[in-house]
Amino acid sequence: MAMLDIVKLALRRAETNAYDAEIRALIIAACHDLSIAGVETPAFSASSSYNPGDRVVYGGEHYVCTTPVVEAGDFNSQNWQQDALFVRAVCTYCKMHFGESDEWEHLHDSYNEQKAQLQMASPYTNYDAYGIKTALGG
C-alpha cells in the first residue's frame, strides 16, 4: 500500500481525495524532519547488492530488504517490505499536524520517541560517515 494511502487510513480520511495535497505535504515534511534528525534512507540502486535489514527508497516508498539480493537489477517487491517503523513515524507526524488535534501533546511526545529510536538504530542512520563510530572505538 502506498504511503499516501496508509497515512489517509491513519487520519481516517481514506474515503476522500479532498485532503490529498495537504497530506502529501505533511508526508514530505515528516520525511524531511526525519532526515534532518539523521534518519537517512538511500535510494534503491539496480547495481547494488542488499542484505536483509538494508533500507531503501524506491518510487517514493520506504522499504526494508527481506531476502539477500545480489546485483539487484530491477526492483522486485518480493525481496522487500515496507519499512513499518519509518511509516509509523510518518503517520504519527501527520496525525500531529493534520487539522486541529486534541491529542497534539501526546502525538508530539510519541513522534519524538519514535524519531529518537530511529536516530539510535544503526540501520536508520549513517553515523559512521561522520567518524563517530570510529572515534568511539567501533
* pLDDT tens per residue across span 96-126: 999 887 899 999 999 999 999 999 887 888 6
β-sheet bridge partners, residue 120 = none
Gap between the Cα atoms of 82 and 60, Å rounded: 11
pLDDT tens digits for 59-82? 989 999 999 998 878 999 999 999
Specify whether 29 is located in the same domain as 96: yes
Which three-class secondary structure state does DSSP give residue 127?
A: helix
Q: Are 115 and 39 in contact (CB under 8 A)?
A: yes
Specify whether 6 is located in the same domain as 31: yes
Domains of the chain: total: 2
pTM of the full predicted structure? Answer: 0.85
Specify whether 92 is located in the same domain as 72: no
| Domain of residue 20, residue span | 1-40+84-127
Which CATH number fits the domain that encloses residue 54? Answer: 2.10.10.20
Specify whether 60 is located in the same domain as 74: yes
